[in-house]
């Protein structure tokens, strides 16, 4: 069984609501510490043997797979998680703008509100990314209203032109 399969099994394990809450609370605290460390030290790349890197982040290899799973879409080049083993050498580069965007998407306010972001992305850059995120989530209708200008470009109202 791969490390990623082991992580999925642990994450999806049947628990009581209290056990589940405790499990994820503990994981999210570790995750927050990892991101705070990465941002505080401006770690653009993470390199090394998976077991050693996970230890440097105070996680076991299986739990670190969960962290890699979460950050994978924020990397310059995604990692094939199912191929990783304890002895695998990882070399990942983090795209901070994608990371911030994905934290907004995950509704992870405990991550995108970290004070360590101040040294990585300016407040204006974070506002721009937040605006881009919100815009990307807006529903857009292509429906033409009867009193709207006709899309054919005639200058007439739709109801008096192509809508007849």
Q: Is the pLDDT at 80 greater than 90, yes or no?
A: yes
Residue 100 structural domain: 3-139
Q: Is residue 157 part of a domain?
A: no
Q: Is residue 147 part of a domain?
A: no
Q: What is the mean pLDDT of residues 132-150?
A: 86
Q: What share of the chain is helix, strand, coil (3-state, %, to 5)?
A: 55, 10, 35
Q: Is residue 160 part of a domain?
A: no
Q: What's the domain count of the chain?
A: 1
Q: Is residue 13 part of a domain?
A: yes
pLDDT at 40 (0 to 100): 95
Q: Distance from CA of residue 115 to its chain's centroid?
A: 18
Q: Is residue 154 part of a domain?
A: no
pLDDT at 59 (0 to 100): 94
Q: Is residue 102 part of a domain?
A: yes
In terms of pTM, does the model score above 0.85?
A: no
Rounded Cα gap, residues 53 and 107, in angstroms: 27
Q: Is residue 135 part of a domain?
A: yes
Least reliable range by pLDDT among 44-48, 79-83, 84-88, 160-164: 160-164
Q: Is the pLDDT at 137 greater than 80, yes or no?
A: yes
């Amino acid at each position: 069984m791969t490390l990623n399969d082991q992580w999925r099994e642990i994450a999806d394990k049947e628990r009581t609501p209290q056990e589940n809450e405790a499990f994820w609370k503990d994981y999210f605290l570790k995750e927050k510490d990892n991101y705070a460390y990465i941002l505080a030290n401006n770690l653009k790349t993470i390199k090394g043997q998976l077991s050693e890197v996970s230890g440097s982040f105070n996680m076991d290899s299986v739990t670190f797979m969960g962290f890699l799973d979460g950050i994978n879409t924020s990397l310059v080049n995604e990692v094939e998680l199912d191929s990783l083993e304890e002895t695998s050498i990882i070399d990942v580069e983090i795209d901070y703008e994608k990371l911030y965007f994905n934290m907004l998407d995950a509704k992870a306010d405990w991550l995108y509100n970290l004070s360590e972001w101040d040294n990585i992305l300016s407040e204006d850059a974070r506002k721009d990314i937040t605006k881009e995120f919100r815009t990307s989530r807006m529903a857009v209708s292509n429906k033409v209203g009867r009193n709207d200008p006709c899309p054919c470009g005639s200058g007439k109202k739709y109801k008096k032109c192509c809508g007849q």
